[in-house]
Structure 1
């Protein structure tokens, strides 16, 4: 008859290099370090997502402001011309050049 498996188990244990308390402390410390690493990862991921959205928003605003700047720069070139200033003086201020006659029609 074949011997049972349970009869072949040796009852002798090898002595542990670290006592139970030290191994327990190392295990708990490892779990805590992993926990803080995971929470730090998700916190940084949330910050990265938030900053990415803000970066996109600011890029769109920069593009919009650049277009507005381009149009205002064109107006600045027009407004600085002599003809534009003369037209404003004639139309809105009722001014005329010397020697011109102004006719007012009601």
Structure 2
């Protein structure tokens, strides 16, 4: 018989404590297969802000793609949820957008 090893999970769990509360929220939602636009709606932030949080958290957990981040979040959901429920990562209230005529939700393609 062949022994089967568990597939390698991307990322570095040592980065979890370095996540901000908002990054933790974004990562948990990503692990639940929620798209960026919906994450923004749920958290009361712009989609481009979600993308900024994703870039920051991806660096902290040492992944290079959104897919790797989603796999990481799924694999480490317990640690991420435990952190949130024990006060280290309290959920943030949705932010209200300040009135700014220069602000638009249109993001140019990357």
TM-score, normalised to structure 1, is 0.22
Q: Which has the larger radius of gyration?
A: 1
Q: TM-score, normalised by structure 2?
A: 0.21
Determine which structure has greater relative contact order: mean sequence separation of CA pairs < 8 Å that are 6+ residues apart, divided by chain length.
2
